[in-house]
Amino acid sequence: MTVHDTARVVAQRIQNTEINPYEMMLQQLDMVHEYTNIPEGIWRILRTPERALEVNVPVVRDDGSIDVFTGYRVQHSSARGPCKGGIRFHPGVTVDEVKALAGWMAWKCAVVNIPYGGGKGGICCDPTSFTPGELERLTRSYASMIYPLIGAKRDIPAPDVNTNAQVMNWIVDTAQVLSGESTPGIVTGKSIEMGGAHGRHEATGRGVMFATLGVLQRLGIEIEGARIAVQGFGNVGSIAARLLHEHGASIIGISDVSGAYHCPVGFDLARVLSYVETSPGRLLAGLQHPGVEEITNDELLAMDVDVLIPAALEAQITASNASNIRARVIVEGANGPTTPEADLILGEKGSVIVPDILANAGGVVCSYFEWVQNIQCFPWEEKETNQRLGQILQRSLREVWSMAEERGISLRLAAFILGVERVATAIQLRGVFP
């Protein structure tokens, strides 16, 4: 069975059903199976998370009332090292979403060959409904509930959707109170003053920039004047847009949860970023910019551009809109933005997709740097961090690209094969306990 045949089978399974991110991750994993010699027993281990913890998170509101929220922490694999993965606060968080993200983290860390496994966490909540004090109590309550699972040598959380350095600072402090020990390495993405790494804030967006430059170079497309659309103008999307703009690209489409905008001559990124800094919720809503028209999210995804960067949430490019995608190159800044069925459609159209487990790995690579610095008690300069980040991502793209060319397969399939085989090898070398 060819990869297209397998993808068609996968597509049939999810057709006319709600997209489940965990099923989507497993379906992507199944597409790798026939391209490897991994034993069936090891394969069953790869498909199943090691641990999935569900916790109730009580929060005392400012008015004295108590609300209870559901939180999760999933560890997919620790075969290659401590589990690693962010924590998100979002009303759409489910256990299947967190399980999917933990699996993707396992393959991601293996693709870029850093000594981590995959984990993820989240709370099903609307963080915009919390006061600063309530958000702190939510974070500390959640941290105390997952504390038995996390640690600098066990599982290391980081920021994700709607969480930031301050949230990580609260987790570090909570862990220190519970343990009585200094524990800076228990999370990454902290404030610099708390042991955070210079360059960590920009790392995921910078990684998307490295991936974009690398693939354009291989395709013979000049970055100067390249037309780019970015879906999701949060931390990852906005930083990637700014850095690519600095390299000469023309950012002609941007969007976030509040709306989408098109500027045919290219946005003044400094002006847009300045607006977002002070806008309510740091959103694009109400953006005033010469030559800009407001469009729909579907119109943004279908723009005639050289590069499309989906940097929002999962399952944004699906069977229902993939045929409308006109971008020659798609660089996945978000986790799981393209469904397997959409992948098939885009592949048949000749689109080049740099998959999420490679394109957005800059954050976890820099988290690894932060963790190393915490263990050594020896901080690096930002220049060193950025140089090392570029070296790792360029090497990883080179390895994935070479495998894709040699075997005549997509970059996604090559990245998955590379990552999954590395995790499988670690499991086999360890042996199955007991």
Q: Which of 89, 181, 99 is nearest to 142 (CA)?
A: 89
- Please give the sequence-ordered ranges of beta strands (E in DSSP) within 33-145, or none if there are none: 51-60, 66-77, 83-90, 117-124
Question: H helices then E strands: how many in the chain?
Answer: 15, 12
Name residue, tokens 């075969």: 79
Angle, in degrees to the nearest 10, between helices 340-349 and 21-33: 60
Question: What is the DSSP-derived secondary structure letter of residue 338?
Answer: B
The token pair at 18 is 């709600």
Task: State how far the Cα of 146 lies from the Cα of 73, in Å rounded to an integer.
Answer: 7
Task: State how far the Cα of 135 lies from the Cα of 129, in Å rounded to an integer.
Answer: 9
Within 13 Å of residue 125, how many CA atoms lie on the same side as its CB?
A: 27
Task: State how far the Cα of 410 lies from the Cα of 399, in Å rounded to an integer.
Answer: 13
The DSSP bridge partners found for residue 155 are: 83, 151
- Could you confirm whether 120 is annotated as catalytic? yes
Task: State how far the Cα of 154 lies from the Cα of 76, in Å rounded to an integer.
Answer: 12
User: Per-residue b/e over 175-202, b at no fewer than 16 CB within 10 Å?
Assistant: beeeeeeebbbbbbbbeeebbbbbbbbb
Task: State how far the Cα of 304 lies from the Cα of 314, in Å rounded to an integer.
Answer: 22
Task: State how far the Cα of 321 lies from the Cα of 221, in Å rounded to an integer.
Answer: 25
Query: At CA 73, angle to CA 314 and CA 376, rounded to 5?
Result: 100
Query: At CA 212, angle to CA 115 and CA 190, rounded to 5?
Result: 45
Contact between residue 208 and residue 235 where contact means Cβ atoms under 8 Å apart: no
Choosing from 99, 108, 120, 190, the catalytic residue is 120
Task: State how far the Cα of 291 lies from the Cα of 279, in Å rounded to an integer.
Answer: 20
Q: Which residues contact residue 426 at a Cβ distance below 8 angstroms, ignoring those fewer than 6 apart?
A: 79, 80
Q: Which residues contact residue 367 at a Cβ distance below 8 angstroms, ignoring those fewer than 6 apart?
A: 84, 156, 158, 188, 189, 197, 200, 203
Q: Point out the residues that are catalytic.
A: 120
